[in-house]
Structure 1
């Protein structure tokens, strides 16, 4: 009798555990919109492709927007919300000021294309549109395509104050990077994979000026920098450079999503300290060396990492909604 009771209790406990969602992404799944807006992914892809044909900046801008969204309050499109008279939104925090307008425009245009289809109007979240668009720009730049998990709701809040301390900085060391990514449920390996987003896009000179002019009293130029590359950066970014001047993050294949990023690190050509440290620190160097050698291994790791990124802080049910305008709360 006692044994039977124990079996019943254990069975009930298993049942309860099975009913508790272990992750915030419990409702995320592929083909989430199959019965709601069945062509959503092709609609977004067409809009993103049209934007891509207008300007390549669409690629790094959209990808960076996705990162900056997910790292602050989760993947809820809160980074797209515009500031108002009584609220300074995420996008106007100093760490987000440099987000290129083409990323925002890509999501807004995809949203308009979706809402032009009667069945789809106001049924797809801005957060999901951004997640799909991020996948599409990676593929358009020659990177891997992958199935996107969908079902995110849009968040209810967006404040500049919430951004502070949430985004990786150019001067971060390995411990700081690992810690920040771990706070978002991302592993050491995920961090190294996602850092390769710097194989695309550009950076303003101010973000790395200290590495080429004022590294230390003994070494004005960071000794981990390739000397020829440092000289090249100094030529493009003189001390009194116009703050609008920007340089490619990847000096070799700036328009391709590839594993060149890791090959650059091996040559001392990581633009930021937070890039080069992945090679100079013995704890991460073996992974850099591995992915510099194998495109397939890198692609697989990146897809796994960006899928995990897309699950961070997801809003579900009553914790979010579907915005009629991605830049405004309903």
Structure 2
């Protein structure tokens, strides 16, 4: 291969790895009905199963925190790659991948090869909030889909339901997300369900004491005892707040009254002053919560890895090998260094 061609390959690889310039209205000229199509499919999904909107919204969190918002979460395992769907925080928890498949199928018929799966997640999450009673916001688009996924990265990054507020503050700060962002984004649990598997330790052996979490309101704990008995089915689900199909600030009111389902939620009020002030504020002021939630979602949606990507035809599989994956970036860099530039 000629030195000139190698240099061109290297430049193309570096260009492919540059972070995308995200902006509102990205598909205005290339697929003008992209956002309305996503919304139409989401409306159909919520009519079939109201719980699906919470599941779709949660995909943005689990995707963006692991190497940026690149739809790596959607990739199925292959013989040479363990993806993220079976990671500890995702297995038996994340669902409604078929809703994303349905959206992608509709968009491929409308504008083949144009709209990325990563952008679909962002648009669908926004619509899930609005269709559940929250506020609509303008999303920035223009992401590429990853060429790989990593179960190990997901396991190392995503927090456990047992995590406490201090741990979550440190985790979010690594992504330049503030304490307000943490508390507001935790409000995604305003809709949806959680599994008994995630809370049995709170009911029967909090912190290894052999006793329940003292932060739980007694009548609420009795209800959860009936729902999640010792040695019961860990996949039984309970409501994350008292209005599980409505996106509102009830979640924060429940935390103040000691009725938070997950440990990672309740400790935002019960054990950390830095997060408690925001919980109290959002419990009193729903508009403040909505505004902070939107700000946090936009900031989280800006997370990018800078790795090469593509527009997948099927969100579950990579559809091509890029120059970087074919030649290997490290190999190209070593080779090009030897190429005279004059």
Same fold (TM over 0.5): yes
The number of residue pairs the alignment matches comes to 301
- List per-residue Cα deviations over 1:115-173 (Å, max 9, x = no partner): 111xx111010000110000001111001110010011101111211112211221222
Quote the offset at 1:100 in angstroms.
3.7
| Cα distance in 1 for residues equivalent to 2:128 and 2:207 | 39
Mark the runs of 5 or more structure 1 residues left unpaired by the alignment.
Answer: 1-23
Moved more, 127-136 or 154-163: 154-163
Aligned to 1:88: 82
Q: SS state of the match for residue 238, structure 2? A: strand
Q: How big is each residue's C-alpha offset from its partner over 1:80-126, in whole Å with a ceiling of 9 and x where there is no partner?
A: 00001222111121221123431x11111111111111xx1110100
Write out per-residue CA displacement over residues 269-312 of structure 1, whole angstroms, 9 at most, x where no aligned residue: 11122111111222221111111111111100000000001011
The 8 Å contact of residues 153 and 321 in structure 1, kept in 2 or not, is answered as yes
Q: CA deviation at 1:204?
A: 1.2
Given the alignment of the two structures, is residue 258 of structure 1 paired with residue 251 of structure 2, yes or no? no
Q: Which TM-score applies when normalising by structure 1?
A: 0.88
Once the two structures are superposed, residues 210-257 of structure 1 have per-residue CA deviations (whole angstroms, 9 ceiling, x without a partner) of: 11111256561111111111111001111121232111111x111111
In structure 1, distance between residues paired with 2:197 and 2:281: 31
Distance apart, 1:202 and its partner CA:
1.1
Deviation at 1:66, TM superposition (A): 1.2
Q: CA deviation at 1:314?
A: 5.3
Contact 2:20 / 2:142 at 8 angstroms: preserved in 1? no
> Is the contact made by 1:153 and 1:315 (CA closer than 8 Å) also made in structure 2?
no
Local SS of the residue matching 1:116:
helix
* One of 138, 143, 146 as aligned partner of 2:137: 146
Please give the alpha-carbon distance, in whole angstroms, between the structure 2 residues aligned to 1:320 and 1:163. 19
Counterpart position of 2:23: 29
C-alpha distance 100-233 of structure 1, shift in aligned 2 (>3 A): same
Secondary structure of the 1:98 match is coil
Q: Distance in 2 between matches of 1:207 and 1:183?
A: 25
How far apart, CA to CA, are the structure 2 residues paired with 1:144 and 1:248?
A: 22
Say if 1:153 and 1:314, in contact at 8 Å, map to a contact too.
no
Determine the structure 2 residue equivalent to 1:71: 65
Structure 2: runs of 5 or more not aligned: 1-17, 320-342
Q: In the TM superposition, what is the alpha-carbon distance from 1:28 to its structure 2 partner?
A: 0.5
| Aligned 8 A contact 1:152 1:314 in 2 | no
Q: CA deviation at 1:315?
A: 4.5
2:97 pairs with 1:107:
no
**Pick aligned residue for 1:325 from 306, 314, 330:** 314
Shift of 1:327: 0.2
Aligned positions of 1:1-330 closer than 5 A: 27-102=21-96, 104-117=97-110, 120-216=111-207, 220-250=211-241, 252-280=242-270, 281-313=272-304, 315=306, 319-330=308-319
Which 4+ residue blocks in structure 1 deviate beyond 4 angstroms? Answer: 216-219
> Is the 8 Å Cα contact of residues 154 and 315 (structure 1) preserved in structure 2?
no
Two-structure CA RMSD over aligned residues (Å) = 1.5
Contact 1:155 1:315 (C-alpha < 8 Å) held by counterparts: no
The normalised TM-score by structure 2 is 0.85
